[in-house]
Structure 1
Amino acid sequence: MAEFRISSEDGQVDLRRLATALAESQGWARDDVGIWDNRRGEVIVTVDDALLRRPEPDFRTRPLHTPRDVHRACEMVHAEDPTLRGVDFASLRTEAARLFSAGWTTEDVLHALGHRPDGEPWPRGPEHRGGEWLMARLRAWRTPDGDIRPSLSQEGAQLRVIGRAGLPVDIGLPSDAAPGLGPVASPAVARSAADDARRLIRQNARTTSDTLAHRDRTSSTIRRPER
């Protein structure tokens, strides 16, 4: 168990709020850390050793951003899916790179090549191979407007956040549907779900809100010389 203390000579500083922000900046859920005050006006934060020694995430189940990781993932997909034999590797990498840019993982791509968006498996056979069959399967994972649909892992993460927040199970149903009687979340559960949502956004976004705010502040002070 690791422990650190926060103190300040400025009585206007909310030390508990500062400690919570520090924990969130490290990706720790609020329920996984201990925060309390002592008699000397300090805030003590305790963190379990497991949070400090997290194992390296599985390459197959994490989003990919670098060209090297994308190339490695495409090699894995090409080797594990027999329907891709004979498919030009450069074409596969080009199509898969679009999915990885949308936050998909290697497991998501393999799932999409083996299943329809509704979960039904794609047909198998000698006639279901090659580049045209690859493109046909990937087109099914796009919306009518051409946008990439959420992957299997992204849908699962969204459902976990909704479930932990205690939202009604019939959320998204038409307005004339019967109202749901979903459970109401406790403040602790709702707070933990919000932490999960923040980590999910940070994990799948290359640009954070802090970076955007810094860019806006910087651009507002830049003055180009007049010609």
Structure 2
Amino acid sequence: MQPIQEFLDGKVLLFDKPLRWTSFDVVKKVRILTKVSKVGHAGTLDPLATGLLIVCTGKFTKKINEYMGMEKEYTGTFTLGSTTPTYDLESSPENFIDTSHLTEAGIHATTQQFTGSILQMPPQHSAIKKDGKPLYLSARKGIEVKVEPRPVTISEFVITKIEMPVVHFKVVCSTGTYIRSLANDFGAALNVGGYMSSLCRTRIGEFSLEQAKNLVGFEEEIKRLREEEEA
């Protein structure tokens, strides 16, 4: 079966990444369906995150770095009153602290500490490399690797709903921002701890989640193109 020519020439595809799929799972699916080997994504989404994933094929893979550098928008939830080693639900909550003393006004006000140009410490459970090795390899062995905080820009951070101990948020930020780290730091600033309990990427630059297709629909689209080729 030959590659589908339009994907071989190059396309930019917008997908709504399913929960528990890795970003590479989506790339692999596109490769299998289109029979095009030159496929890549523009910015990893963790398996427990959903939302907009840009996938490029053919000559458009040259634009991946350009798309990766674009501003991102996320929505999701932080759970306050406990932490996890991975800053999300990839690991189990621990260090439980009562949150009944927190006020809505205090929660909203704390977002101001994390708005603008800030220094952010990346998670130990991340793919960032130190001495050529991803941090998560050491973290899984219980070894903490010293890394420097990184400058990021958070242009918008608002709490959209409070259902204690869960708070819903919207964040607009620069590339390289870890929302998991923001959850951990936000909980620490409130002195109760916190972790990211859900995440959805809703925008990358001018591309929005509303424009994205799901993988089932994409598979049906490829099937139609194959039938047209054979007709």
Q: Which bracket does the TM-score occupy, shorter chain normalised? A: under 0.3
TM-score by length of 1: 0.24
Greater RCO, CA 8 A, separation 6+: 2
Structure with greater strand percent:
2
TM-score by length of 2: 0.23
Structure number with bigger Rg: 1
Structure with greater helix percent:
1
